[in-house]
Amino acid sequence: MNNNINEVIEHISHRVQNILKDPPSPVLSVSAAVAATWAIWRLTLTRRKANTPPIVPYNIPFIGNGLDLSKDPRKFIDKCKKRYGPIFQITTFGKTMVVVTGPYIQECFRLGDKYLDFNEGVEDFLPLQRILNISYDKQKRQEVKHENENKSPIVKAVRNNFKSHQLKIFEDRMQYAVDRGLELDIHFEPGAKSTTLEIDAVQHMVGRISALLFAGREVGESEELITAMATYAQSIFKAAIAYTSLPANLADFVTKNYLDISDQIDITMKHITPVLTKVKEQEEKEGQMDPDFFMHMMLHMPNADGSQPTPEEAGFWLQDISFASIHTTSLFTTWALHLLSDRPDIQELIRQETEAAKKKHGVLTPAVVKDMPIIDSIFRETLRLNSDYIGINHKAMQDTVLSNGIIIPKGKSVGMAVDDVHNDPTIQHVGENNIPLTEMDPRRFVSRKTKKSTSVGLDLLSFGLGYHACPGRYLASQEICYLLAKILEDYDISPDTKDGKRAPNRVAMGFLQLTPAKGVVLTKRS
């Protein structure tokens, strides 16, 4: 094969020289060889095994389809579907993946991790375990590899304790934390009626809730702990950028020396370990107690190898629950604020629903938002409209044949076209008002009792699907809806833009949706 390529390069190089009247310079000879190499690369680019996903061609190595994808992700994916079919392969900024669209997404989830592994897919794009291993060597997680992630202690603990009907024990702390966040994390200049709320402040507000619910009352109001939990995800993503931009070994060096996450872990361990030690000692004397905070629940969860966790081992999971809960909750709270920012009519609709709920129940509490279908419908719209263009990545653990005969080769990264399916009228409910799926309809799901914000399916993939569906979605939904209702009681929300329209989302790597670069303006209500 190499000899054939060399012969072709030499042949094309000579042909280029013969076309020219003057003898070529050495530079021209090299240029001809480079041109020939490029031609061979273009020829081999589209070569693929039978029945494997069609490769979307591109011109620039590494960047691949990234620029076209970044310009208009929805248009690019729709164009690829029409030209190459529902399953195709793209390359974007050094990452190659198979993109799955439409009903085939559901088929991929049903195959299970034996064929398409979710955890391995996430690790390919966001190497959490590698970053942790590089950054922190004082302790390792007590875990073994599972075929089913539901056997993971943290997933079992969340699944067993955070269903909708189990959230009552957290209600008073959530109320208190939200009130504290509104008081301490929204800052006004003296005499000012308006201020800008950035995502950092939202993360801190959500961090207050998480610290009380997950770490407990004894340490949950520590500003040091709240800050460490709230900023942990940011540190992880900064390190992850190194792995998307640099060779792995160099990224390891940069992470260890410049993007270290050990400080946040040290702080969380410093606060939670003594609390769990005290609980364990008390239970050894008096018997097992009913936990009222998450890390106490983790103390009762056997490690993946069946052993009972020490306070240090149980406490080490606090970073994971912080990453999973604070990051996503902050993102979707921020997106909801932006969606509402240029829609004062919808803000007023939420206030009317809030007042009706207060008249019925006497006071607005986190539990009361379950009786507020409009705000739940708005949150479902927030999830639907702000999901990644391609996400929920899996990794093919073996050659995988789909029902249309396409074979996904072993080792391939597989991404789901989430935004595309969320805006597909053949899959997605348009609603009685016939408002386009690309726009927010606050009442789109109000009359559909089975389409709560926590109801997962092909038409809402933000929380995953099947046994990979996020077990903490009931808490996240209650938390976000309650926080939005409380903010709207006190403030009008408007965009921080010149044209008065909501700030646009940013896009990373061509397919990941990020919150807008600007915050939203909060103005005190008279």
Binding residue positions for heme: 470
Nearest to 385 by CA among 330, 462, 328, 455: 462
- What the block records as the tokens of 202 is 């939202």
d(CA 352, CA 99): 43
DSSP, collapsed to helix, strand or coil, labels residue 493 as strand
Q: How many CB atoms lie within 10 A of CB 290?
A: 8
Question: Could you please report the per-residue DSSP string of 318-365?
Answer: HHHHHHHHHHHHHHHHHHHHHHHHT-HHHHHHHHHHHHHHHHHHSS--
The residues, any chain, with a CB within 8 Å of residue 523's CB and separated by 6 or more, are: 193, 194, 491, 492, 493, 494
Question: Could you please report the per-residue DSSP string of 170-200?
Answer: GHHHHHHHHHHHHHHSS---TT-SEEEE-HH
d(CA 97, CA 52): 12
Place of tokens 């709207």: 488
Annotated binding-site residue numbers: 470
d(CA 114, CA 148): 9
Q: How many CB atoms lie within 10 A of CB 427?
A: 17
Beta bridge pairs of residue 249: none
Nearest to 273 by CA among 312, 228, 303, 227: 312
d(CA 347, CA 484): 10
Task: Kindly state the helix (H) or strand (E) to which residue 37 belongs, with its residue range.
Answer: helix 26-45
The alpha-carbon radius of gyration of the chain (Å, integer) is 26
Torsion-angle region of residue 102: left (phi > 0), alpha (psi -120 to 50) or beta? left
User: Residue 460 has what DSSP assignment?
Assistant: B
Could you give phi then psi for residue 325, rounded to 5 degrees?
Answer: -90, -50
Task: Kindly state the helix (H) or strand (E) to which residue 100 belongs, with its residue range.
Answer: strand 95-100
DSSP, collapsed to helix, strand or coil, labels residue 89 as strand
Taking CA atoms, 213 is separated from 89, 256, 467, in Å, by 42, 31, 24
Q: Please, are residues 275 and 293 in contact by the beta-carbon 8 Å criterion?
A: no
Taking CA atoms, 142 is separated from 16, 124, 159, in Å, by 62, 22, 19
Q: Please, are residues 177 and 300 in contact by the beta-carbon 8 Å criterion?
A: no
Could you give phi then psi for residue 75, rounded to 5 degrees?
Answer: -65, -40
